[in-house]
Structure 1
Amino acid sequence: MSSNQTARTAAVPVGGGAPDARQLRAILIAVSIALMAVIASVSGLNVAQTHMAVEWGASQTTVLWIINIYTLALAALLLPLGAIGDRLGRKPTLITGLIIFGAAGVVAGLAPSAAVMIGARVAAGVSAAMIMPITLAVITSTFPEEERGKAIGVWTGVAGGGGILGMFLSAFLVDVADWRWLFALPVVLVVVALAMTWKSVPNSREHSAHSFDTIGALMSAIAVIGLIFVLQEGPERGWAAPVSLISLAVGVAAAVAFVTWELHRRDASLLDVRLFRERGLAGGSVTLLVVFGVQAGIAVVLFPFFQAVLGWSGLLSTAAMMPMAIMMMTTSGLA
C-alpha cells in the first residue's frame, strides 16, 4: 500500500518547502476529518436497516447488500487505488475522492429506490478507497520522523473510534429526524475536509521506473472480494453451500497467486510482501487485524442485543458502545 511504497521510494513534494508546526497540525486535522467521513460511512447505515426495508419493501438480503457493498468496494480497491494515487499525486487524488464521495452521499440521501442506493454506495466505496490510503500516505510523506509516530497514532485512533462515533451520530439523526439525514454527517465532513485539503495539504507523489502492477492489482481485488463475499453470505447461505465454498476457494487462490506474483516481481510496485519478514511489521499488522476484527465483532453482536433483547433505542445502544470508541481515540496517540 502507499505506506509501504513510502518506505521503498522517496516521496517527492510538489512545490513549497517543509511545513511548519501549524501547517502540520492543519494537515493532520484535514486528513483525520476525511478519514472520519470514510469510517463513519462503514457502520452508519446499520441503524437504518428497518427504515430502508419498510420504505422500499426490500428484503433483508437487499438491505445487507446496501450496507456491505460499500465495504466490499472499499476493501477490494484500497490497494490499487492507493498505489495509483501515489503515482498521480496525493493531493489531487484526495480531492477527487472527496468530491466523488460527497456527491455519492447526496445521491444516497435522495435515493428513490434500493437500486439507486446500491449504485450510490458503490461509488462511495470506490471513492473511499481513494481517500483512506492517501490520508495515511500524506502523513508518512509530510511529517518529520520525530512527529510521524504521534500523527499515525491519531490516524489510527480516528480509524478505530470513528466507526462507533459515526454510528452514534447516525442513530441520533435517525431518532430526532429522518433516516436519510444520516448521510448529512459524512457529506458535511467531506465539505470541511475538502476545504482544508485544498488550503493546507501539500502535493507529493512517488516516482517509479516500473510500470503499474495491473496483474497484482487484479489478483488482490479478486482475493478481497472472494474472502469478504464468503464472510458476508456464509452465515445466511451456509458455510458449506456451493457459492460459499467457491467464493472461499477463489479468494484463497487469488491471495496465494498475489503473494507469489509480488515475490516474483523484482520491484513489487504494489505491495512488497517481503517487508513482512520484519517481525515488528508483521506483529503490528496481525495486532491491528485482531483489534479491528474484535471491535467489529463486538459491534455486530452487541448492537442487535441491545435493541432486540434489552429493547433500547438505536441512540441508547450506540451510546453504550461509546466508551470503547472514546478510549481508543484518546489513547492511540499516546500508544
Structure 2
Amino acid sequence: MTALALGVLSYGLMQTMLVPAIGIIQGGLHTGATAATWAVMSAPLLSSAILTPVASRLGDRFGRRRVLLWVLVAYLAATILAMAAPDIGVLIAARAGQGISLAILPLAFGTVPSILPAERVHGGLGLLSGLVGGAAGIALVCGGLIVDHGSWRWLFVVGALLVAAALILTYRYVPADDGQPAGGSDPIGTALLAAGLAGILLALTVGPSNGWFSPAVWILFLGGLSALTGFAAVERRSRHPLIDMELVLHRPVGIAHLAAFVLGTVQFMYYVLVPRLTESPRATGGFGDSVTVAGLVMLPSTLLVLPAGALAGRVIAQRGSRSPLTVGLLLAAIGAAMLASVHGRPWQLALCALPIGIGTGLVMAALPAQIHRTVDPARAATANGINTIARTIGGAVGSQLGAAVVLNSLGAGFPAAFWIATAVGAGGAATVFAGSGDRGNDRRTTEPARVTVRR
C-alpha cells in the first residue's frame, strides 16, 4: 500500500505543481502564453486521455504490477527529459509523455482488492483517492514556494525523486498478478478512441482563444464526437474490445462515470479560478498576491480531502457508496455557491472552499468503491481507467469553461463561473441519488460470457 500510495502521490503532485509556474516557464524559455499553457496543462491532459484506457486494458490482460512498472519507467524518463528541456518544444513533448502517469490511478485502484483483506479494501481505496485531491492542493503551495525562490526545473527534480521511489517500492513490494492474457488487441478501437478524445479536448482547449463558434472548434468537436460514436459501434462488434461498453452504459457504473465528470468540472474550475483571482493585479479585479499565497488560500480545502476520504471508506463499508457520492457532489455545489456569493478577501476564498474539499474526498473515495462493488475484478483496472478519463474530461470542461467565462471580466466572471459550477454539482448530486440504485453490501455475482458488470 505504501508503494501504491507513493505512485499516486507522485501523480497528484505533478498534476498541479506546475500550475503556478506558467508565467515563469514562459519567461524562462522565451515563449508565448499559449505554448506555456500547453506545456503545463494541455499536453499532459490530451495524452493522458488517450494513454490511460490503453494502459488500463493492458493491466487487466497482462497483470497490473507489470504494466504499472512500465508506466512508472516511462513517467520517470519523461520527467527527467522535462527537467533538462532546452526549449518549449521539448518541454511540451516531455509533458505529453508525463500524461501516462494518469494510468497509475486505475492500476493502483485495481490492485488494492488483491493486497488487502476484504474488510479493509474500502479504506485502502479511500486512502488512495484522498491522496489524489489532497496532493493537488499541497502541490500548489510547494510549486509556489519553488518558483518564487528558485528555478522551475526543481519542480521536475522533486517529481523525479518521487517517481523513482515509487518505482523501486513497487518492484520490491507489490505482488505480481497474472491478468488474463487471452484475447487480441483492438487497434481500430484504440485509434478511434484517441481521435475522439483528442478532438473534443482540443476543441475545449482552443475554444477560449479562437472563439467557441469558430469553424476550427466545431470541426474538432464534431470530428471528435463522430470518432467516439464510431468507437462505440466498433467496440460492440469487436471480439476483444479495448473497452467493454457494458462498463460505460450499465447504470451503476455509468453513475460513477457521471459523478467523476461532475466532480472534475467543479474541482478544476476551482483550481483555475481561485489562483487567478488571488494572483491577478488589483487593477483587473484580483488581489495582487504571490503564487505562494494562492497556494496557501487553497491549502485548507485540500487538507480536508484525505480525512474525508478516510471517513467515506468507513461509511461505504457499512452503507454502500451512494450516500458519499450524493453528499460529496452536493457539498461541492454548496462550496461553489459560497464562492460565487462571498469572495472579497483571500480568507473568504479559503473558508468558502472548505465544502469543496470535503466533497472531493467523499466522491473520490466512493468512485472506486462503486466500481469495485459492481465490476468483475478482472476488469477493475479498465473500469477505473474509464472513470479516471471521465474526471479528466470533466476537468478539461471545467478549466476551459471557467477561463472562457472570466475572459473579458474577472470581477463579473468569477461569480458567474461558480454559479455554473453550483448548477453542475447540484444536478450531478440529484442524478446520482435518483439513479445509482445502491444496494449497500449486496453480494456481487459475475455474469457469464463477456458481460463483466455485476448486477
Same fold (TM over 0.5): yes
Q: Hey, what's the Cα distance between the residues in 2 that align with 1:115 and 1:158? A: 31
Could you report, residue by residue, the CA deviation over 1:220-266 in whole angstroms, capped at 9, with x for unpaired residues?
Answer: 11111111111111011111112111110111112222222222335
- 1:270 is matched with 242
- 1:313 is matched with 290
1:16-95 equivalences under 5 Å are 28-67=1-40, 68-95=42-69
Query: Is the 8 Å Cα contact of residues 93 and 130 (structure 1) preserved in structure 2?
Result: no
Q: Hey, what's the Cα distance between the residues in 1 that align with 2:68 and 2:107? A: 6
The reply to whether residue 256 of structure 1 matches residue 229 of structure 2 is yes
Deviation at 1:161, TM superposition (A): 2.5
The reply to whether residue 111 of structure 1 matches residue 105 of structure 2 is no
Deviation at 1:201, TM superposition (A): 0.3
Out of 177, 187, 208, the residue aligned to residue 235 of structure 1 is 208
Aligned residues: 306
Look up the SS of the partner of 1:332 in the other structure: helix
Query: Is the 8 Å Cα contact of residues 79 and 159 (structure 2) preserved in structure 1?
Result: yes
Query: Is the 8 Å Cα contact of residues 24 and 147 (structure 2) preserved in structure 1?
Result: no
Query: Is the 8 Å Cα contact of residues 91 and 203 (structure 1) preserved in structure 2?
Result: yes
- 2:105 is matched with 132
Report sequence identity in percent.
Answer: 26
Deviation at 1:276, TM superposition (A): 4.3
Q: Which moved more, 1:313-322 or 1:108-117?
A: 108-117
Q: Hey, what's the Cα distance between the residues in 1 that align with 2:160 and 2:308? A: 27
1:118-267 equivalences under 5 Å are 118-126=92-100, 128-265=101-238
Q: Hey, what's the Cα distance between the residues in 2 that align with 1:141 and 1:245? A: 45
Q: Hey, what's the Cα distance between the residues in 2 that align with 1:56 and 1:93? A: 34
Could you report, residue by residue, the CA deviation over 1:260-280 in whole angstroms, capped at 9, with x for unpaired residues?
Answer: 22223355x422222445433
- 2:302 is matched with 325
- 1:304 is matched with 276
Deviation at 1:54, TM superposition (A): 1.3
Q: Which moved more, 1:307-316 or 1:94-103?
A: 94-103
Out of 250, 253, 263, the residue aligned to residue 281 of structure 1 is 253
Q: Hey, what's the Cα distance between the residues in 2 that align with 1:140 and 1:321? A: 32
Q: Hey, what's the Cα distance between the residues in 2 that align with 1:143 and 1:244? A: 47
Q: Which moved more, 1:92-101 or 1:298-307?
A: 92-101
Query: Is the 8 Å Cα contact of residues 73 and 129 (structure 1) preserved in structure 2?
Result: no
Q: Hey, what's the Cα distance between the residues in 1 that align with 2:255 and 2:63? A: 30
Deviation at 1:282, TM superposition (A): 2.2
1:258 partner letter:
F
Measured at CA, do residues 205 and 245 of structure 1 come closer, stay the same or move farther in structure 2, by a change above 3 Å?
farther
Query: Is the 8 Å Cα contact of residues 78 and 132 (structure 1) preserved in structure 2?
Result: no
Query: Is the 8 Å Cα contact of residues 63 and 180 (structure 2) preserved in structure 1?
Result: no
Q: Hey, what's the Cα distance between the residues in 1 that align with 2:70 and 2:246? A: 32
Query: Is the 8 Å Cα contact of residues 170 and 185 (structure 1) preserved in structure 2?
Result: no
Q: Which moved more, 1:138-147 or 1:316-325?
A: 138-147
Q: Hey, what's the Cα distance between the residues in 2 that align with 1:260 and 1:145? A: 37
Query: Is the 8 Å Cα contact of residues 160 and 292 (structure 1) preserved in structure 2?
Result: no
Measured at CA, do residues 106 and 277 of structure 1 come closer, stay the same or move farther in structure 2, by a change above 3 Å?
closer
Query: Is the 8 Å Cα contact of residues 55 and 67 (structure 2) preserved in structure 1?
Result: no
2:246 partner letter:
R
Q: Which moved more, 1:232-241 or 1:113-122?
A: 113-122
Deviation at 1:209, TM superposition (A): 3.1
Query: Is the 8 Å Cα contact of residues 22 and 36 (structure 2) preserved in structure 1?
Result: yes
Q: Hey, what's the Cα distance between the residues in 2 that align with 1:262 and 1:329? A: 37
Q: Hey, what's the Cα distance between the residues in 1 that align with 2:274 and 2:102? A: 28
- 1:7 is matched with none
Could you report, residue by residue, the CA deviation over 1:156-182 in whole angstroms, capped at 9, with x for unpaired residues?
Answer: 212222222222211121123222211
Q: Hey, what's the Cα distance between the residues in 2 that align with 1:271 and 1:144? A: 28
Q: Hey, what's the Cα distance between the residues in 2 that align with 1:196 and 1:208? A: 25
Measured at CA, do residues 278 and 119 of structure 1 come closer, stay the same or move farther in structure 2, by a change above 3 Å?
closer
Q: Hey, what's the Cα distance between the residues in 1 that align with 2:26 and 2:48? A: 24
Q: Hey, what's the Cα distance between the residues in 2 that align with 1:130 and 1:322? A: 26
1:159 partner letter:
V
Look up the SS of the partner of 2:17 in the other structure: helix
Q: Hey, what's the Cα distance between the residues in 2 that align with 1:253 and 1:155? A: 35
Q: Which moved more, 1:275-284 or 1:286-295?
A: 275-284
Q: Hey, what's the Cα distance between the residues in 2 that align with 1:159 and 1:120? A: 22
Query: Is the 8 Å Cα contact of residues 62 and 181 (structure 2) preserved in structure 1?
Result: no
Query: Is the 8 Å Cα contact of residues 160 and 325 (structure 1) preserved in structure 2?
Result: yes
2:123 partner letter:
K
Query: Is the 8 Å Cα contact of residues 134 and 302 (structure 2) preserved in structure 1?
Result: yes
